[in-house]
Structure 1
Amino acid sequence: MQTAKGNVLLPVSRILLVEDDTHHCHLLETSLRQEGFDVIACLDGLEALNCARSMPAQARDTAFDLMILDRTLPRLNGLDVCRLLRQEGNYIPIVMMSEQADEHDKVIGLELGADEYLSKPFSNRILIARCRALLRYCQAIYQPKNPAKVLKFKDLALYLEECRATLSEQELQLSPKEFALLREFLQSRGRILSRDNLLERVWGDDYYGDTKTVDVHIRWLRQKLECDPSNPEYITTLRGFGYRLG
């Protein structure tokens, strides 16, 4: 979908909103639409999963650009929705909402594939700002400054123009943040990158979480890159300093 601004057509971001509280869902949907987003709302997890499956990320004209997902849902909870989508290779950016605000719960949500985690209550302005920041980030990932460049290390190759990666000529299924992390490591080959370095380069100034999310995403990358993730050959840990490629 596109909207006109002057004589220029601008793309409208399509959001899948999943919230079982009908009143809260209506308020969020109204706020998002007022900010120019196209919104489809679901009231339970199974409906949301089927909706996301029906509009896969590969179908660019109909795909959802972002999902706002409540953690506690009927039929299928938000954590399971997130886990199943990631297992199926659907890397739609996910902002998870939850009334559970302790660190352990946030880590679980992030480990299962959420890109952002908001603890209730929060203002609609904060939610919209986080959504916009995540959308900007994903747009930047898929519009590299040097689109013709291919980054390589051993049998690992990152194709910036096509936003894809291969290992031993086999396609890797990477989320936007995993792709960005791998790009940073390949561009900084041999250099130590601290968690703060990676947060700044990959998550940007709009991210207000803690550095644990870096460790979570590194763990995911290792599971996809390494024969033995507990004894990594690609992304190694230098305790007290950070991570390094090779």
Structure 2
Amino acid sequence: MAVVTDESTTALVFARWTLHGDGRLTGADSDIQLPPKEGHVLRLLLASGGTLMTKDRLLELAWSRGEVADESLTRCIYSLRKHLRADKGFIKTIYGKGYRFTCPVRAGNQPRAVVHVCPRCGQASNV
């Protein structure tokens, strides 16, 4: 049985990067406080487990209040890729549909644990 951890304290690790619960993205030579929307979108992509996250789903989850243009999501993805620099290819565009995160993800507090991150809310649980 999986135990759900508090999203605000769960760090998600992929390649040389760590997304901390407070929205901070750290790497070998980087420590970036992501804006809230960028942090949320990145967490949702990490939570997807490599499956397609449609534009509509990302917009619904990250911008739940009111209407928002697709351009907001496009700018957010652009900024995330800019922060990831050489690793920007981890976020693949599936044209006309959405985005897919291509790098394996694990919980930072569990070095070898299998982690399941809910694609709906972004909460992580160890399996």
Mark yes or no: TM-score above 0.5. Answer: yes
Q: Which has the larger radius of gyration?
A: 1
Deviation string 1:158-199 (CA, Å, 9 cap, x unpaired) is 111x33111235212311111111111111130111111111
Which structure has more RCO (C-alpha within 8 Å, separation ≥ 6)? 2
Aligned-pair Cα RMSD in Å = 2.0
Of the three residues 12, 25, 48, the one matched with 1:151 is: 12
2:73 is aligned with 1:214: yes
SS of the residue corresponding to residue 244 of structure 1 reads strand
Q: C-alpha separation between the residues in 2 aligned to 1:213 and 1:200?
A: 12
Of the three residues 155, 178, 183, the one matched with 2:43 is: 183
Deviation string 1:24-67 (CA, Å, 9 cap, x unpaired) is xxxxxxxxxxxxxxxxxxxxxxxxxxxxxxxxxxxxxxxxxxxx
Q: C-alpha separation between the residues in 2 aligned to 1:165 and 1:218?
A: 15
> Structure 2 length normalisation: TM-score?
0.68
Q: C-alpha separation between the residues in 2 aligned to 1:158 and 1:240?
A: 27
Residue identity matched to 1:242? G
2:55 is aligned with 1:199: no
Tell me what 2:89 maps to: 233
Q: C-alpha separation between the residues in 2 aligned to 1:188 and 1:158?
A: 15
Structure 2 unaligned runs (5+)? 103-127
- Aligned pair count reads 98
Q: C-alpha separation between the residues in 1 aligned to 2:50 and 2:80?
A: 18
Q: Which has the higher strand share?
A: 2
Residue 195 of structure 1 contacts residue 242 of structure 1 at CA under 8 Å; is this kept in 2? yes
2:12 is aligned with 1:164: no
Residue identity matched to 1:176? P
Q: C-alpha separation between the residues in 2 aligned to 1:238 and 1:168?
A: 29
Residue identity matched to 2:55? R
Q: C-alpha separation between the residues in 1 aligned to 2:17 and 2:49?
A: 13
Residue identity matched to 1:207? G
Q: C-alpha separation between the residues in 2 aligned to 1:198 and 1:148?
A: 22
Residue 152 of structure 1 contacts residue 186 of structure 1 at CA under 8 Å; is this kept in 2? no
Structure 1 unaligned runs (5+)? 1-143
Tell me what 2:117 maps to: none
Taking structure 1 as reference, are residues 217 and 146 closer, same or farther at Cα in structure 2, changes over 3 Å only? Answer: closer
